[in-house]
Structures are given as structure tokens and as C-alpha cells.
Structure 1
């Protein structure tokens, strides 16, 4: 492996560094298998949990009780599963406990959550430092390796005083504990390239959270999409994590009997209420006492769900199910007592940007396909335009038809740039959006460094495409403006169009929705910019739209640079007439550049604000 391929934070001899710093890391975290840093200080307890959907039309009235008087406990050193049929409320309870309930004005949340007898607010970013959260979807950086993924998380989440050698030792230790040593330096993979297995990806997701030594591990459907062997491996890993003195709480759907029997405790919800909770070892006796003995050779996970689904809830409430919250379960917090949160000084924004940029450009290097496709398609379209408008810039402009052809060539190139760079931007942003939401919510980095790093990779990809385009069409068409001017205009067009795509991608998680709206946003530019119809002929009501169209300014810049120095005589007259008809003022060139800069900045700021609001649960 050469120096350019070396992962982020690599040192010259990782093996020797691991050996020399293993003892140091044990003293800084713990000598346990996962180095959890002491484990949880007490059980996670929730009491009187209610979640109500209010009626918008009839204010004050409850439209739906999503959760009703829910109570429960996740114990230190044990794994606790939340189960329930579809609509039982397990996802809602999990979102409340993890602080990831979407912010909506018509949702009212009640109840208290305690950790070790101290009140905790999972929506507080400081309190979240105690939590590790593994989503159902494996939101991982596809071109990274498991080692790089854990190192990246460690670099940005551990105290800034942690040295590279210490981080390397910790990462190696985690990989060993996760059973990922053999796959440590294999690409994680995804849609573009095959990588590690699904079970290994899930263990990487867990490892990325364990690297920050949380005391509570939340997992949403940790065995989803895994085969029985991989699911059993993941459950064994979670059991090991719990036995280190941590709290492990997860939702799960239709587990196998083997997976079900690996839980310590079960919380079963039915229509937003706690139907049953207790030790899995006692499930047979508990259900028998309630009048529902488990048949032989029956998956207990299926049986508990079948009982809740096949029986009326009012009948079930006449049994030992749906027990009320015990009085001794409710906790009276000590006045003035605060939650103990690790005081870790986060790395600087510059360091965040450094590692984010390094990952972005490593992604381009390892997965150049998107860039190659974009450059290839752009070059082919440029060659087609070059043939259509061959040598048009060198022809006699005394003929008005030649000036019209120059206008057509420039406008077509701008439109091609506008649409061509947008498709690539929407695809890449949609792919990376889940990764950002996971990393931002777990305090990997702040919003500004992330956007700057994405901008860096987008600028590189856009420049590669427009530079290839300029090399093809500039000399084929014979433009008289400087090559630098032509390149700068098309580059500005591509950057503003990608800014629009990023803004739409921030609003919509589904790339198809963003693409559909992009068409609605961009197509009107063809008309409001004045390139096909004079602005003066548009209704007064919509003439203002020209000022928010990037095509307005790029087409005017291109025309200004190309037609401002035509030969004296009839050629100069034709050029001046064309500039006037298209509302181009040579003296306003710098204003056009400033307008493009303003649009670019505005779209990026809106995207940043929207995406940040989406990540703040």
C-alpha cells in the first residue's frame, strides 16, 4: 500500500504501535473486552410514558393514543428486547427512549426517563454522549474499510488529547472483539462494489458506536436482513457487550427461536400498552399462568405475537397481562442531582473538515465510476454540440444568422451543463444522506465542516466534467472569448445547479422526489431567463423570476464575453442588437458574477439549514 492509499490516521507501523500502546489504552478506558469505560451507573427506567396524536381540527382533543401509560426497565448487564405486532407502538417507544421522535406540533409526549435514578433527556445532545445508536439500515461509508470506519469515529468522537497511537490500539482492540480482524481492511462495499457480508456490516455499525464507550446501546432491528447464522453472531456480540456492564436495548421483529432465547428480558407491546415484560426464561410459565400455555415445538417469538394478535385486548386484560406500573417502579429523583456525562473536549471544526475531506477524496479515488461516467457523458454531448455548431464562432458575423447560431450554441451548452451536472449531484447526495443523519446525530461533526467537505468533492467532480466539455467544444465551435472565461462560466453554471440539487436533496430523502421537483424548479428557467422569449414579452407578474434563474446570468455572461468585440461595421451592429434583445449590458458583467455567487450561497445555506433541522430529532 502506497502513501496515497494509506487510510486516515495511519502510522508507519500500526502493529508496533498497537503493542506499545495497548497498556496505555487499558488504563484510559478499561481492561475489559470492549473497553466500555466502566459501564452504566444504573438501570434505564421509564415511567408513565404517553404519546398522543392531537386532533388539529378540534384543539385539545386526542385523535390517537400511540403510547398509553407505558413503563419499563432495561437492566445493566442484560439484553432487553422490545417486541410487538405492527402498530403495537414498539417503534414509537424506541424513538422516545432514543430521543429520535420526529418533531411535530401535533405530537404530545409525556413521561419520565431515568438512568441510575437520575433524570435523563435523550433529546439533550450532552446526554446523548452516554448513548450509542445503531439504526436498522446499515448507514456506512461504502468505500471505507471497517478499520477506517472505526478510526474515523474514534478520531472525531474521542477527546482531542487522544493520540493517533492510542486510537490505533483501541481500533485494533475493537476489531478483535467484534470478530472483524480478517475483514478489517476490506472495503465495506454497497451498490457500486461488493464488500463485506451483511453480518459483518452490522458488527461494523455496532463497533462504530462502541468506539465512543457509551453506557447504553440502542439498536433498531439489529438482525434485520441477516441469515440465522449472522443473526446469532450479532446477538452473541450484544450479549458480550451487555455483560461488560452496559445496557443493551433493541427492537426486533419475528426473531428465530434461537435468537429469541438469547435475550435476557422481553418487553411486549400491544396497541401502545405494555402487555407483558419480564425474563425470557420465564416466558413459558408466565404465559401458562395467563391461560395461554405454549404449544410444543412452537417458536416462542411467534407465540407471544400470535396471542396478542388473535385475542381481543379486553379479554387479555382480564388475565395477568397488562399489569399496572408497580409503585416501587416509579423513581423520585434526588433534587439537584445531575447526570454524569463524560467531559470530553471535541476536536476542532478544522479537524472535522480535514478528516471529512480526506474521506471524500478517498471515496473519489476508490470509486471513480461516477466521475468517469459524468465526464464521459458530458464529453459525448459536447462533441455532438461541437459537430452541430462546427466553427460557428469563426464565421462572418456580418450575417445575422451566424450571430443567432452563436447565441444558440452558447445557450445549448449552458442548458446541457445545467441538467448534466444535476443528475450526478442528486444521486450522490441521496446516497450519502442517511450516513450524514447517523453521524451528525451521534456528534461526529458539526454541519458546516460536512457541507464544506461535500462542496469540495462536488467542485472536483464538476470541474472534471466542465473542463472536459470545454476542451471539446471551445475549439470545435471556434469561440473568440478567452478559454478561461468560457470555463469559468460553465463551471459557475454547474456549481449553482448542484447547489439547487443539494437543497432539494435536503428536503427529500427519496431521490426520485428530489429529481421530480428539480425538473419543476429548473425547466421554467428556460423561459424566465429570456433565452427563448424576450423578458419584455413576459407578463409583469412573472418577470421577477429572471433574477433567481442561474441561466439568466450565465447566458448573459457568455453572450457578453463572446459578442463584445465583434468586427466593426455590420458585424458589430448585429452583435450589439443581439446583446440588447437579450438584455445584456456589458457594464453589468460583474453584477452577473455577483448574482451567481448570491444564488449559489443562498441555495447552500437553505440546504444546510433544512438538513440540520432534519437531523435534530
Structure 2
């Protein structure tokens, strides 16, 4: 316990192995054994923020966690039974089929969401459970219920370590031991019930009725209002500073803090250290010699589970009413603007070339700015799940791409079906199929670029800024606005999926039909199609495929290099 900035979360992160220190003189041991990867499965960590997928139900959230984290030796049925046991233990049966919800999605209550996060960790039946401010943002009754549940877990033989900011007196009385922190220093460590007695013994006691937790937090902040102060401290300050540190008759918080630190070091610290060292025993269950990571599922099982989870979670976002309306309304407007256009005349040909260029730009722009948000939005979830060794990064990355693919291709199909036959493009099954395939290539390549940019920055604002510049550059070099690009800028069009998509669409619509026509014909003497009659588009297709894999490889490399609290 301690004030904000006192070091509570930092201490918890160090103890749980989520953050390491480079100080060679310090070490953290568990029953005299050093931290190891095998020990990670014996430790649970509940973060202060509730990091969960909003569109999954309570049961689905715990089931996916169980399938990924519980040992391979358990069958799927046994893992599902464990989930039901946890639901009963945490009193979540009533809401097990309700989605968790979030800021914009109505779901379960805050207390139930916190219990789901705790359930994710106790699935593994950990020996040691860390919780970072589990009562934050909850009302007093819900907070008491959470602490009572943690107390029952502790009574069942687990060690529960939690940080808490300023609990009520009812919550404070539930804890067995207390570490009081202030400015990164320990001010007290011992039985919680004896904390008030200790501070009274060093001359600090409340002058009015006060919540013990409130009294302790005030002391940790150096606030001695309505509290007795030892005369030794007042005399020492008065002698050293000659009243220069007196502020409106009050002691300096720095002097109060230093006095509490010194008192703890001389009265408690040495005694507690001796007791801890005396009673430390090696837990026979901890295999400290094993430093290998044991996965709860094989790579293929991880991929399959993450693929199914991805489809269930993201279908709500990809097929939302707003997004579907956006695509359909755009398709209808485009169809009406180019209604029954005719390529028989130069003007009609130019109009259709503009339509094809718009299609190449729209299905380059739209997927980029959709996929940019993928990794930044899931950064917290990825960090949390990778920190506990839930799955391999490669399984997550491939499953993320595979689950996005069918969702990303639904809207282009709807768009093309509406537009293609309204605007009077070539009516044949082969031409329509090839045009659709070209749009698919554009969507998948653009999505790869968005993933790479998002993974590189993990910041939506920075990623969106860079993507805007790149998309604008690709569009300008795409072959519609400028046919004769200066040689020193020519290389841009070869890495532009807009350019390759546009050329492929032109070849599909006009390339074959023009091969037998007089190239001097006024209708087809156009820069848009003058150079598209001699090849079948193999170079463009090859370039698009190279982009599809190349951008994704970059995205994976950026993800692998991220420091997501020991996730790599």
C-alpha cells in the first residue's frame, strides 16, 4: 500500500518477473530458487487495467485461455470442466453467456469484468497470484466482494500479493500482511493488524478517529495534520534547520519521510530479514533446473484456437453497420456517377479509366487504414498474453492474418457486384472474375502495408500520419494523374500497389479486346491503354504477391523487435 508514485506497481512487476533489473548486486528468489521460465506457470498476474476482448462472452474468454494455457496432458473436455469450476468459484455462472463489453459496447459490470481477469489467472491454479490494484474504479461493496474472494483463495493455500491505493477500513482488515511504501522506500513491513501499534511506538498516532489506511497513506505522503509527531523529530529538525523548514507550523514532508525510513531500518528491517531467511524453505514442486518453456498447446493448436477467437472477436468490427453502409453507399454513388459508361469514344474511355483508377485507390486506401489499428489496439492484450507464455508470436501473427482475410474479402465482393454491372464494364464471367481477383490482391497487399506500419510504431497517430503520406504518394504515382514520371521518381510506382492494380484492371478490360484492333483507331489511341496490349500482366501479379508477403514479413520483424514487457 502507498500513495501514487510510491513504487507499488514497480515492485509488483519486479517480483512477478515481468520487469528485470540490471543491478548485479540484487536478486529475486522464490523459496531460495531463482526465477525461471518453468516458474512462470506457477505465477499469476492480474493487471490494473482489464485487458479483455469486448465482443467475447465470459465463458468464451475463459475457454480460449484454458485451451491455450492449461497443460497438453489435459483433454479438451477436462479443460472445459476447469473453466466451469472457475465460473462457479468466481460466481460468474449467471453471466457466462454475456459479452464482456467495453467503452462502446454494453456488457457485464466492472466487478464481473475484474473477476473474469482474475479467472484467467487462477485457471492454472497458480501458487502465487499478483494483482495490481484489483479494487480500482469499483464501488465499496464490489471492492469488498473482490477482496473477500481473494481472501478465500489465500485460505485455500495460495499466496496472494496485491497492491492497493487507499482501501476502506473493512478492506484493510482483510489483509494479513502489509508493506507500506513511500517514494520507493519501505516504511513498514509486518502484520497489517500491528501497523497502527508500530507507528504509535515511534511517536506517530492519530489525534482524531481515522481509517487506519487513510492514516498510513497520510504518513507515507509526509502529511502529519491531525497526527502526533515525536518530539525527537521536531527537535532534530529545529536544531538542523533553525526553523527554515517550518511551513505554517508543519514539518517538511521530506523530514517526515526520512524519519519513517530510518525508524523502519533500525526497528523492523533487520528483524524481518532474519525471520524470512530463517524460515525460507525450498518448495519441492519448483523445478528450478528446468528453464525450458512448456507450451499449453502445439503450434497448430495455437493457430487454430487464435484463428477461431479472431473470427469471433473481429467480425463485429469488420461487419459493423457503419462499415457496411460506408462501402455500399460508396458503391451506389460510383455506380450512379458512371452509369452505363461506354468505352467506344475517347471521352467514355477516359471516364472508364478514371473509374478503374478510383477502384484501385479505394481498395488500397480502405484496407490500409483498417489494418493500421490491428496491432496498436491489441498491444496490451498481446503484451499480457505473451508475458505468461500463452502462445508463440508466429502462431498469433499467422492466425491474425488468416482470420482477417475472409472478413476483409466480403466487402470488396459486395462493392464489385454493385459497381461492375451498373457502370457498363465488360460483361463476361472471366473478366469479372479476373477483376475481382485483382481487387483481392490489392486488398491483401494494402492490408500488409497497414499491418507493417502499425507494428512499426504501435501508435495510431504516428502510423496514420505515415500511411497518409505513403498512400498519397502511391496514388499520385499510380499512372492516372502523371503518365510521364521523372526518372528519379520512377521507382515509386514499382512499390505502389495502386499502380499495379490499375494496370491489371486496364489489361483485363481492354488488353485482349484491343489486340486485333487498329492501334491508330481514335477510340483506343489513349495513353491509358497504349502500352497494355503486349503482355498478360504477369509482372504486376508477381509484384503484388511480393508485396503481400514482403509487407507481412516486415510487420512480423517489427513485432518480434517490440519490447512488450518480456513478450518477445
Same fold (TM over 0.5): yes
Q: Which residue of the other structure, out of 469, 486, 496, is the alignment partner of 2:415?
A: 469
**2:232 matched residue in structure 1:** none
Deviation at 1:584, TM superposition (A): 5.6
Deviation at 1:487, TM superposition (A): 0.9
Deviation at 1:110, TM superposition (A): 5.4
**2:265 matched residue in structure 1:** 323
Residues 573 and 434 (structure 1), Cα distance of their counterparts in 2 relative to 1, 3 Å cut: farther
Secondary structure in 2 matching 1:357 = helix
Cα deviation, 1:388-412, whole Å, max 9, x if unaligned, reads: 22223x331xx33333222211111
Residues 318 and 215 (structure 1), Cα distance of their counterparts in 2 relative to 1, 3 Å cut: same
**2:527 matched residue in structure 1:** 578
Do the aligned residues in 2 keep the contact of 1:276 with 1:321 (CA within 8 Å)?
no
Matching of residue 358 in structure 1 with residue 358 in structure 2? no
Cα deviation, 1:207-263, whole Å, max 9, x if unaligned, reads: 111111221111122112211111111111111112222221222223333223322
Rounded Cα–Cα distance in structure 2 between residues aligned with 1:196 and 1:577: 61
Secondary structure in 2 matching 1:245 = coil
Bigger helix share: 2
Rounded Cα–Cα distance in structure 1 between residues aligned with 2:144 and 2:138: 9
Matching of residue 173 in structure 1 with residue 121 in structure 2? no
Deviation at 1:315, TM superposition (A): 4.3
Deviation at 1:270, TM superposition (A): 2.2
Matching of residue 288 in structure 1 with residue 187 in structure 2? no
Matching of residue 589 in structure 1 with residue 537 in structure 2? yes
Q: Which residue of the other structure, out of 486, 504, 514, is the alignment partner of 1:537?
A: 486
**1:270 matched residue in structure 2:** 182
Cα deviation, 1:85-137, whole Å, max 9, x if unaligned, reads: 3332222222222233389xxx767521111111225xxx4331221111112
Rounded Cα–Cα distance in structure 2 between residues aligned with 1:89 and 1:537: 59
Do the aligned residues in 2 keep the contact of 1:150 with 1:207 (CA within 8 Å)?
yes
Deviation at 1:579, TM superposition (A): 4.5
Do the aligned residues in 2 keep the contact of 1:374 with 1:424 (CA within 8 Å)?
no
Do the aligned residues in 2 keep the contact of 1:199 with 1:234 (CA within 8 Å)?
yes
Secondary structure in 2 matching 1:267 = strand
Do the aligned residues in 2 keep the contact of 1:564 with 1:575 (CA within 8 Å)?
no
Residues 266 and 459 (structure 1), Cα distance of their counterparts in 2 relative to 1, 3 Å cut: same
Matching of residue 608 in structure 1 with residue 523 in structure 2? no
Secondary structure in 2 matching 1:248 = strand
Secondary structure in 1 matching 2:29 = strand
**1:422 matched residue in structure 2:** 368
**1:22 matched residue in structure 2:** none
Secondary structure in 2 matching 1:600 = helix
Rounded Cα–Cα distance in structure 1 between residues aligned with 2:511 and 2:444: 25
**1:563 matched residue in structure 2:** 510
Secondary structure in 2 matching 1:578 = coil
**2:47 matched residue in structure 1:** 135
Secondary structure in 2 matching 1:161 = coil
TM-score by length of 2: 0.83
Secondary structure in 2 matching 1:546 = helix
Rounded Cα–Cα distance in structure 1 between residues aligned with 2:407 and 2:504: 23
Do the aligned residues in 1 keep the contact of 2:512 with 2:533 (CA within 8 Å)?
no
Rounded Cα–Cα distance in structure 1 between residues aligned with 2:257 and 2:519: 94
Cα deviation, 1:123-154, whole Å, max 9, x if unaligned, reads: xx433122111111211122322222222222
TM-score by length of 1: 0.77
Residues 414 and 167 (structure 1), Cα distance of their counterparts in 2 relative to 1, 3 Å cut: same
Bigger strand share: 1
Rounded Cα–Cα distance in structure 2 between residues aligned with 1:359 and 1:411: 36
Q: Which residue of the other structure, out of 528, 531, 534, is the alignment partner of 2:477?
A: 528
Do the aligned residues in 1 keep the contact of 2:477 with 2:485 (CA within 8 Å)?
no
Matching of residue 409 in structure 1 with residue 324 in structure 2? no
Structure 2, unpaired ranges of 5+: 223-251
Secondary structure in 2 matching 1:464 = helix
Do the aligned residues in 1 keep the contact of 2:19 with 2:565 (CA within 8 Å)?
no
Deviation at 1:378, TM superposition (A): 1.2
Rounded Cα–Cα distance in structure 1 between residues aligned with 2:151 and 2:521: 81
Do the aligned residues in 2 keep the contact of 1:379 with 1:469 (CA within 8 Å)?
yes
Cα deviation, 1:310-356, whole Å, max 9, x if unaligned, reads: 3533443335544175363569999xx95277995632111112222
**2:228 matched residue in structure 1:** none
**1:206 matched residue in structure 2:** 118
Query: Would you say how many aligned residue pairs link Structure 1 and Structure 2?
Result: 520
Residues 221 and 500 (structure 1), Cα distance of their counterparts in 2 relative to 1, 3 Å cut: farther
**Stretch deviating more after TM superposition (550-559 or 466-475):** 550-559
Rounded Cα–Cα distance in structure 1 between residues aligned with 2:181 and 2:484: 62
Cα deviation, 1:561-609, whole Å, max 9, x if unaligned, reads: 222134412576764752577x768537222112212222222222223
Rounded Cα–Cα distance in structure 2 between residues aligned with 1:159 and 1:258: 38
Residues 143 and 442 (structure 1), Cα distance of their counterparts in 2 relative to 1, 3 Å cut: same
**1:111 matched residue in structure 2:** 26
**2:235 matched residue in structure 1:** none
Rounded Cα–Cα distance in structure 2 between residues aligned with 1:445 and 1:434: 15
Rounded Cα–Cα distance in structure 2 between residues aligned with 1:112 and 1:465: 55
Structure 1, unpaired ranges of 5+: 1-82
Rounded Cα–Cα distance in structure 1 between residues aligned with 2:20 and 2:431: 52
**Stretch deviating more after TM superposition (289-298 or 324-333):** 324-333
Matching of residue 187 in structure 1 with residue 99 in structure 2? yes
Rounded Cα–Cα distance in structure 2 between residues aligned with 1:571 and 1:445: 62
Give the alignment's Cα RMSD to 1 decimal: 3.0
Deviation at 1:284, TM superposition (A): 0.7
Matching of residue 375 in structure 1 with residue 338 in structure 2? no
**1:216 matched residue in structure 2:** 128
**1:77 matched residue in structure 2:** none
**2:392 matched residue in structure 1:** 446
**2:254 matched residue in structure 1:** 313
Secondary structure in 1 matching 2:454 = helix
Residues 126 and 507 (structure 1), Cα distance of their counterparts in 2 relative to 1, 3 Å cut: farther
